[in-house]
């Protein structure tokens, strides 16, 4: 049996009401008032497609053996690197095996997430692979006062595919590909160029998705009534309902398109909707999934009894509920680099990243791996040649110790207005980890007045630096205090 063995989604903490956009920008383009309802998810300034994919992957793989991964497939249209394996960075953050594994990037289409899923499933069906993680994530920029700004949200999803402990068996797929250009982003451009909405709505979503699903049903001999949930992306809510009507789908079986709660999250959106569907699924339920973008992928799954044994580290329901309203449009615009603001003299330093040092320290920097003394059992970060425990001081007797999934508490902290930060003051301090070990870390997803000594924290893989001169993004782990609200 081959199929989904685990799933996880990630929706950033901040949500921007579409009314906030209208209040600030409708003077310039009043048409946006036609889509005023709901809110969209907004990534923090130190997040990008890779960091969100790592968050979704950790949610997915809680309790799973990351060392058993045969590969990581990453799907995105907003990858930070065009010539560096982005999936390899995610694999390093997961401390996945470096040898005997196969990682790959899937891009250039919003259906890249479902295409990556089909590729992973076929690799496992061939018998050559047994465990592949597919992560999809997008952080797309849209110009101010545009329909794109109203529709686009940020988010990520991850699915683990394998042949053991399958919670949803893969029962078939069908793909069609057309060079239907509803939008595009040219090389070196920051923003998509979108064609007329009516064209996208009527000739794109409204025709291609039903055509692909009907072709899949004809190929497999299945009926649309056989499926307990039908999942397909379409941020035009009226068209989303019209597709269901055209296919004869009972409205109760159509998965909510999440437009009102997070917006359209690009390549991750079909998989993010699927994670929401799986949270409420029961054994024997059949689920139909479609991904749209220059064609359409269709996949079908049947939920097994194993579904009762699995729970992601953080459910989609919990992720959507753990939100903070972003009422400051200017702050949102800066987070998205839509406006230019000075970081001061201290922010002008732009040192070249030492790629040799990054290679030597890759486990420490990307995987947040320290060491543990094999004599006394004391963990420590960073890795040092001598045990830090005064009663031990053993030299050279260590094993790798992963801190990324260890909870911690704040031992001390400060807020620094002089340190360059997109969201001042910069908050950082000392974290004491459960099970031993301490580390001096930046804090994120919090305000200074919310942070307290003794507050629990979790670790989050984030963008640590961005070298705009050389086009290099540096990553490290930050602490996320468990604040209220």
pLDDT in tens, 265-290: 999 999 999 999 999 999 999 999 99
Cis peptide upstream of residue 382 (ω within 30 degrees of 0): yes
Encoding tokens for residue 422? 């997109």
Would you place residue 140 in the very low, low, confident or very high pLDDT band (cuts 50, 70, 90)? Answer: very high
- Helix or strand or coil: residue 352? coil
| DSSP-assigned states of every residue in 45-79 | TT--HHHHHHHHHHHHTTTS-GGG--EEEEE-SS-
* Closest listed residue to residue 366, CA positions, set 353, 351, 376: 353
Instruction: Give the list of residues 6+ apart from residue 385 with CB closer than 8 angstroms, or none.
Output: 395, 396
Contact 430, 475 (CB under 8 A): no
| Average of per-residue pLDDT across 9-37 | 96
The pLDDT mean for the chain works out to 95
pLDDT at position 420, please? 85
Helices (H) and strands (E) in the chain, counts: 13, 22
CA of residue 304 relative to chain centroid, distance: 26
Distance, in Å, from the CA atom of 414 to the CA atom of 478, rounded to the nearest integer, reads 15
Encoding tokens for residue 455? 């507050």
| Average of per-residue pLDDT across 386-401 | 94
- Helix or strand or coil: residue 199? helix
* Closest listed residue to residue 264, CA positions, set 297, 229, 237, 245: 237
User: Is the pLDDT score of 483 beyond 90?
Assistant: no
196-227 pLDDT tens trace: 888 898 999 999 999 999 999 999 999 999 99
State the virtual CA torsion across 280, 292, 154, 188 in degrees, nearest 10. 160
Would you place residue 340 in the very low, low, confident or very high pLDDT band (cuts 50, 70, 90)? Answer: confident
pLDDT at position 463, please? 95
H-helix segments, 361-436: 362-365
pLDDT at position 197, please? 87
Contact 223, 217 (CB under 8 A): yes
User: Is the pLDDT score of 367 beyond 90?
Assistant: yes
Distance, in Å, from the CA atom of 426 to the CA atom of 47, rounded to the nearest integer, reads 15
User: Is the pLDDT score of 39 beyond 60?
Assistant: yes
Contact 328, 309 (CB under 8 A): no
pLDDT at position 376, please? 95
Share of the chain above pLDDT 90, in %: 89
pLDDT at position 344, please? 74
Would you place residue 353 in the very low, low, confident or very high pLDDT band (cuts 50, 70, 90)? Answer: confident
- Helix or strand or coil: residue 392? coil
pTM over 0.75: yes
pLDDT at position 485, please? 54
| Average of per-residue pLDDT across 54-72 | 96
Instruction: Give the list of residues 6+ apart from residue 103 with CB closer than 8 angstroms, or none.
Output: 71, 72, 73, 74, 85, 87, 88, 90, 91
Distance, in Å, from the CA atom of 104 to the CA atom of 146, rounded to the nearest integer, reads 33
| Average of per-residue pLDDT across 362-379 | 96
* Closest listed residue to residue 384, CA positions, set 375, 371, 374: 371
Encoding tokens for residue 64? 């799973």
100-137 pLDDT tens trace: 999 999 999 999 999 999 999 999 999 999 999 999 99
pLDDT at position 341, please? 82
Encoding tokens for residue 468? 């705009």
């Amino acid at each position: 049996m081959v199929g989904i063995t685990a799933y996880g989604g990630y929706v950033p903490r901040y949500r921007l009401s579409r009314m906030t956009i209208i209040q600030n920008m409708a003077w310039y383009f009043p048409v946006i008032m036609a889509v005023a309802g709901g809110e969209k998810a907004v990534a923090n300034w130190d997040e990008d497609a890779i960091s969100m994919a790592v968050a979704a992957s950790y949610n997915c793989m809680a309790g799973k053996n990351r060392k058993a991964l045969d590969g990581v497939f990453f799907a995105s249209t907003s990858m930070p690197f065009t010539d560096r394996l982005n999936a390899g960075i995610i694999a390093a953050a997961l401390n996945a095996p470096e040898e005997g594994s196969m990682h790959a990037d899937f891009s250039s289409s919003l259906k890249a997430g479902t295409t990556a899923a089909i590729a992973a499933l076929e690799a496992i069906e061939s018998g050559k692979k047994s465990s592949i993680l597919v992560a999809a994530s997008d952080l797309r920029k849209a110009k101010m006062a545009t329909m794109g700004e109203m529709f686009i949200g940020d988010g990520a999803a991850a699915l683990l595919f394998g042949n053991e402990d399958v919670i949803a068996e893969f029962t078939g797929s069908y793909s069609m590909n057309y060079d239907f250009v509803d939008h595009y982003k040219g090389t070196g451009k920051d923003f998509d160029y979108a064609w007329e909405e009516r064209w996208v709505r009527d000739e794109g979503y409204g025709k291609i998705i039903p055509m692909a699903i009907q072709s899949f049903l004809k190929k497999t001999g299945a009926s649309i009534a056989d499926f307990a949930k039908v999942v397909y992306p379409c941020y035009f809510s009226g068209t989303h309902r019209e597709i269901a009507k055209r296919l004869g789908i009972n409205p109760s079986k159509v998965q909510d398109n999440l437009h009102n709660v997070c917006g359209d999250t690009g390549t991750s959106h079909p998989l993010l909707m699927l994670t929401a569907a799986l949270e409420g699924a029961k054994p024997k339920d059949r689920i139909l999934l479609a991904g749209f973008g220059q064609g359409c992928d269709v996949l079908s799954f049947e939920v097994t009894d194993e579904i009762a044994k699995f729970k992601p580290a953080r459910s989609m329901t919990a992720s959507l509920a753990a939100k903070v309203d972003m009422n400051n449009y200017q702050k949102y615009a800066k987070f998205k680099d839509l406006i230019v603001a000075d970081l001061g003299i201290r922010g002008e330093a732009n040192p070249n990243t030492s790629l040799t040092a990054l290679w030597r320290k890759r486990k420490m920097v990307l995987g947040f791996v320290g060491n543990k003394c094999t004599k006394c059992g004391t963990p420590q970060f960073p890795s040092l040649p001598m045990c830090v425990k005064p009663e031990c001081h053993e030299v050279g007797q260590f094993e790798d110790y992963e801190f990324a999934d260890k909870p911690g508490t704040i031992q001390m902290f400060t807020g620094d207005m002089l340190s360059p930060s997109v969201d001042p003051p910069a908050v950082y301090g000392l974290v004491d980890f459960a099970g031993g070990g301490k580390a001096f870390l930046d804090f994120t997803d919090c305000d200074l007045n919310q942070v307290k000594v003794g507050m629990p924290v979790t670790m989050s893989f984030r963008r640590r630096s961005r070298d705009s001169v050389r086009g290099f993004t540096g990553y490290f782990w930050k602490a996320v205090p468990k604040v209220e609200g």
